[in-house]
Amino acid sequence: MRTPMVAGNWKLNGTRASADALAQEVASGAQSLNNVEVLVCPTYIHIPGVQGVIAASNVKLGAQDASIQESGAYTGEVSTAMLQEFG
């Protein structure tokens, strides 16, 4: 049987401080969830900070979007290889 997943993304909202605070709240709330995978997808620039906030929790980290292009002149795009650098 598949594990249910709850995922949320930031869309185009928040500051570094608010992103970290929201991630902390999600991580705290996720402690009491059993058999549910929790995933947060902050904006690209907030991924490193949120990654640090949720590191000791059971919350997974994702991205809101990824380009199908691996490299090239695609302004504003982020490749999967770039995202993998976050671990």
Q: How far apart are CA 19 and CA 12, in angstroms?
A: 11
Q: How far apart are CA 48 and CA 58, in angstroms?
A: 17
pLDDT in tens, 34-58: 899 999 999 999 999 999 999 999 9
Which whole number is the average pLDDT over 7-13? 95
Whether 87 shows a pLDDT value over 90: the answer reads no
pLDDT in tens, 58-75: 999 999 999 999 999 999
Whether 4 shows a pLDDT value over 90: the answer reads yes
